């Protein structure tokens, strides 16, 4: 083969590999308000990968925390008000039972500090199909849970993303099967008596000991394929965990409601 032809084939192969690495996502979705990116933009760069410290023991709840998950599902219910149907193992670990639906806390919270421990299953599938769940405040503001260990997806949908709005500052995911932690500081949005937004929600997220969102203002409810926007709600709401069809594991969830004073 002619040398020039070989070189252009190599260039084509390199371009193809680059496109494959960055090309997961969409180019026909709405613009994210105030950003240069579209929702789930396939050209949005994925954040740098950072190796976290090794996983440690469960972080014990401080004395003033409300324990949400410690060997049972008593604090949780199904969205329809029935019992939470996820499974609880002999070791106290909770596993998503695919198809049974999301679970919500019976108690409602406003501003809070939330600790979550999760572990993604053996990799099956790819992109959003791998180790997908989520932690939602007020049931509608999602911090994504995903297996983002050597698994490329669109940047605003990877693990620890504010789903459809902001990727994490870095990808500090641990491997499937290892325990990971979120420490999330959530400030509830406020609405006036006519339902207009007075103050957006703010969120700070620490993933496996590393800061990945530093008091980010949310652009509204997180959503798939559509642009975020706010619709009014009360001062407190449930925390929700998502059944996205993958046997994700959770343990040791606790929350500290934060007073405005
Ligand atoms: Mg999710």
DSSP structural state of residue 16: H
Averaged confidence pLDDT in the chain? 92
Instruction: State residue 259's pLDDT score.
Output: 80
Is 2.60.120.560 the CATH number for 3-257?
yes
User: Cα(25) to centroid of ligand 1, in Å?
Assistant: 15
* Range of lowest pLDDT (20-24, 173-177, 210-214, 239-243): 20-24
Q: How far is the CA of 117 from the centre of ligand 1 (A)?
A: 15
Expressed in angstroms and rounded, the spacing between residue 1 Cα and the centre of ligand 1 is: 49
**Distance in Å, CA 193 to ligand 1 centroid:** 32
Q: What's the gap in Å between 127 CA and the centre of ligand 1?
A: 11
Is residue 246 predicted with pLDDT exceeding 80? yes
CA gap 132, 146 in Å, rounded: 4
Helix ranges restricted to H, the chain: 3-22
Give yes or no for residue 92 having a pLDDT over 80: yes
Q: In this predicted structure, what is the pLDDT of residue 205?
A: 98
Measured CA to CA, the distance from residue 1 to residue 150 in angstroms comes to 36
Provide the whole-model pTM. 0.91
Cα of 243 from ligand 1 centre, angstroms: 8
Is the CB of residue 105 less than 8 Å from the CB of residue 238?
yes
For the chain, the domains span: 3-257
Cα–Cα separations (whole angstroms), residue 46 to 24, 37, 125: 10, 13, 19
pLDDT tens for residues 104-163? 999 999 999 999 999 999 998 999 999 999 999 999 999 999 999 999 999 999 999 999
């Amino acid at each position: 083969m002619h040398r020039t032809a070989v070189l252009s084939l190599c260039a084509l192969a390199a371009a193809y590999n680059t496109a494959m690495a960055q090309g997961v996502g969409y180019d026909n979705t709405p613009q994210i308000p105030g950003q240069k990116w579209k929702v789930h933009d396939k050209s949005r760069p994925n954040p740098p990968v950072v190796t976290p410290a090794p996983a440690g023991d469960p972080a014990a709840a401080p004395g003033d925390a409300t324990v949400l998950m410690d060997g049972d599902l008593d604090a949780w219910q199904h969205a329809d008000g029935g019992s939470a149907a996820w499974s609880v193992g002999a070791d106290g670990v909770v596993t998503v039972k695919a198809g049974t639906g999301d679970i919500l806390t019976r108690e409602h919270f406003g501003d809070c500090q939330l600790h979550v421990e999760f572990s993604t299953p053996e990799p099956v599938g790819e992109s959003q199909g791998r180790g997908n769940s989520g932690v939602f405040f007020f049931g509608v503001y999602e911090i994504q849970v995903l297996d983002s260990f050597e698994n490329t997806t669109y940047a605003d949908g990877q693990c620890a993303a504010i789903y459809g709005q902001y990727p994490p500052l870095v990808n500090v995911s641990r491997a499937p099967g290892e325990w990971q932690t979120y420490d999330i500081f959530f400030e509830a949005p406020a609405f006036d008596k006519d339902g207009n937004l007075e103050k957006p929600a703010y969120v700070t997220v620490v993933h496996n000991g590393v800061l990945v969102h530093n008091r980010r203002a949310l652009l509204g409810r997180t959503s798939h394929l559509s642009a975020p926007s706010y619709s009014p709600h009360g001062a407190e709401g449930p925390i929700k965990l998502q059944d996205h069809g993958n046997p994700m594991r959770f343990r040791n969830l606790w929350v500290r409601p934060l007073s405005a004073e």
